[in-house]
Structure 1
Amino acid sequence: MRRNILITGASSGLGAEMARQFAAKGHDLALTARRTDRLEALQAELAQSYPQVKVVIHSLDVNDHERVFEVFRAIDAELPLDRVVVNAGLGKGAPLGTGRFDANRETALTNFVGALAQAEAALELFRARNAGHLVLIASISALRGFPKTVTTYAATKAGLASLGEGLRLELLGKPIRVSTIYPGYIRSELNERVKHTPFIVDTEPGVRAMVAAIEAEKAKAYVPARPWWPLAQVMRVAPLPLLKRMI
């Protein structure tokens, strides 16, 4: 089924690759990000590769909360939305107490408060028509607390996962669907400087697993399923010394 899909944070990384893969499936797209030059380049690429697909772009900083609502409403008026993928996020962070509250605050505001604004704006549209699919891009780090530079990032993703769970509980049995996607380590601009990352996969196959889970409208998905589904079960219950060796 052809759908109209909004992806935030679509100028690079997982967001841009999701746009490519959804376009390949014939879906029409609305793409937002702060870097409009990259959005324009991606729009041109998609127009050349998939001329039958409509792609609209909008500049959006998800920390400008009023603007989030304005842009979502404007897009919906032009391209009535079936699915919203809350993907925009930051990977900044520092160990707490080391003088970098600014980085941790920016990550917390973008990854959770910004995501909350996007979820509010999407559900405003979906509740009005009693239909829609909200997708929250969390992280495997949402399962447990992570140390050092990832502590705040993991906490924001855990908050986002809890938000999704609460919405699924509220909307149980109703036509509005909510999916929480837990990507494992997938190469992107967020982690390009991180070395010795275990089980990391390239962007294209990693995002292919994400897109498959989204298309299936799974409530929760750990992607790629191998190794992350079995590892997720262990991570949930592992004592801290074992968890520290795993991550």
Structure 2
Amino acid sequence: MSSLHALVTGASAGIGAEFARQLAASGCGLVLTARRTERLEALAAQLRERHGVDVACLPADLADPRAPAWLHEECARRGLAIDVLVNNAGYGVTGSFLSRPWQTHADFIQVLMTAPAELCHRFLPAMRERGRGRIINVASLAGLVPAPAGHTLYAASKAYLIKFSQALSLENRAYGVHVLACCPGFTHSEFHDVTGTREQMKGMPRWMWMDAGAVVSDALAAVERGESIRVSGRVNRAIKALVKLLPDRLGERLVAGGGKNFRDST
């Protein structure tokens, strides 16, 4: 019989690594995937030693359109049934839309939009057959507020994940499968180092930031409750509520005024 595992994408650092830690602490076996093999293997060794769980590492680049099918096939070949799917892999592309070549945007869309949808499509049928499954798509508060200039596709991709998760949740509740869009705000991770915006982020007040551990524990509790959208933290939930009350044009002006201090929009 296949053993039940959680598949976590983008598991080599940040929120993805924290999902791996907390799931392992609960006794869940893991399948970890990311591009950085050495980091994956180091995390896997740590989790095996600390929690005594089975951890498989399947390094892959989700910008490759073949990667989702390969991950599904490799899990099946190894007899690893995926009970929890965490679509966490992601990054940001700085600058305005036309300042980057199309292939950069195409890769971004593949990683943040196409790959999560395909992984859901491939792993969901078995979850429905077993009568239980959990899918967490890591979106962002950015998908719920007006989008600033720069990082042009980022908020759009997160809004897509939120709506996708909401519909998928409604379609699969009757089968025992819970689907959640996890929507953190500013979170301590390597995200801004990778995008080269760490200096801009130093201007953000401390109360705007959350710890990755708090984001993950909140998301895991929310998916068990059957929520379809979870905004992490009271400050971020207050921002979401406030934005709903503002006229669109005013919201856009506020974002345009403040966003330029924290974004590279060249």
Give the TM-score band, short-chain normalised.
0.7 to 0.9
Q: Report how far residue 32 of structure 1 moved.
A: 0.9
- Return the letter of the residue paired with 1:64: D
Q: Alignment partner for residue 203 of structure 1, among 208, 212, 216?
A: 212
Aligned to 2:24: 23
Q: Report how far residue 127 of structure 1 moved.
A: 3.7
Q: Are 2:62 and 1:62 equivalent residues in the alignment? A: yes
User: Is the 1:133–1:176 Cα contact (8 Å) retained in structure 2?
Assistant: yes
TM-score of the aligned structures, taking structure 2 as reference length: 0.81
Q: Alignment partner for residue 241 of structure 1, among 253, 260, 265?
A: 253
CA RMSD of aligned residues (A): 2.4
The share of aligned pairs that are identical, in percent, is 30
Counterpart-to-counterpart distance in 2, 1:121 and 1:61: 17
Aligned to 1:229: 237
Give a deviation string over 1:7-38, Cα, whole Å, max 9, x none: 11101111011111221222221111121111
User: Is the 2:96–2:152 Cα contact (8 Å) retained in structure 1?
Assistant: yes
| SS in structure 2 at match of 1:94 | coil
Query: How do 1:144-155 and structure 2 match up within 5 A?
Result: 144-155=145-156
Query: How do 1:83-102 and structure 2 match up within 5 A?
Result: 83-102=84-103
Counterpart-to-counterpart distance in 2, 1:218 and 1:41: 33
User: Is the 1:5–1:84 Cα contact (8 Å) retained in structure 2?
Assistant: yes
Q: Report how far residue 185 of structure 1 moved.
A: 0.9
What is the count of residue pairs matched by the alignment?
Answer: 244
Aligned to 2:8: 7
TM-score of the aligned structures, taking structure 1 as reference length: 0.87
User: Is the 1:136–1:164 Cα contact (8 Å) retained in structure 2?
Assistant: yes
| SS in structure 2 at match of 1:151 | coil
Give a deviation string over 1:169-207, Cα, whole Å, max 9, x none: 323433222111111110111123242235012333333
Counterpart-to-counterpart distance in 1, 2:149 and 2:73: 39
Counterpart-to-counterpart distance in 2, 1:102 and 1:69: 21
- Return the letter of the residue paired with 1:229: R
Q: Report how far residue 75 of structure 1 moved.
A: 1.9
Q: Report how far residue 156 of structure 1 moved.
A: 0.8
Q: Are 2:155 and 1:143 equivalent residues in the alignment? A: no
**Higher RCO by CA contacts (8 Å cutoff, separation 6 or greater):** 2
- Return the letter of the residue paired with 1:180: A
Query: How do 1:68-83 and structure 2 match up within 5 A?
Result: 68-76=68-76, 77-83=78-84
Aligned to 2:264: none
Aligned to 2:190: 189
- Return the letter of the residue paired with 2:204: T
Q: Are 2:222 and 1:213 equivalent residues in the alignment? A: yes
Aligned to 2:111: 110
Q: 1:197–1:72: structure 2 CA closer, same or farther, 3 Å change rule?
A: farther
Q: Report how far residue 152 of structure 1 moved.
A: 0.9
The unaligned stretches of length 5 or more in structure 2 are 260-266
Aligned to 1:180: 181
Q: Report how far residue 246 of structure 1 moved.
A: 6.5
User: Is the 2:6–2:82 Cα contact (8 Å) retained in structure 1?
Assistant: yes
Q: Report how far residue 68 of structure 1 moved.
A: 1.4
Query: How do 1:27-66 and structure 2 match up within 5 A?
Result: 27-51=28-52, 53-66=53-66
Counterpart-to-counterpart distance in 2, 1:182 and 1:116: 17
Q: 1:214–1:166: structure 2 CA closer, same or farther, 3 Å change rule?
A: closer
User: Is the 2:179–2:223 Cα contact (8 Å) retained in structure 1?
Assistant: no
Q: Report how far residue 62 of structure 1 moved.
A: 1.8
Counterpart-to-counterpart distance in 2, 1:235 and 1:125: 39
The unaligned stretches of length 5 or more in structure 1 are none
Q: 1:107–1:67: structure 2 CA closer, same or farther, 3 Å change rule?
A: closer
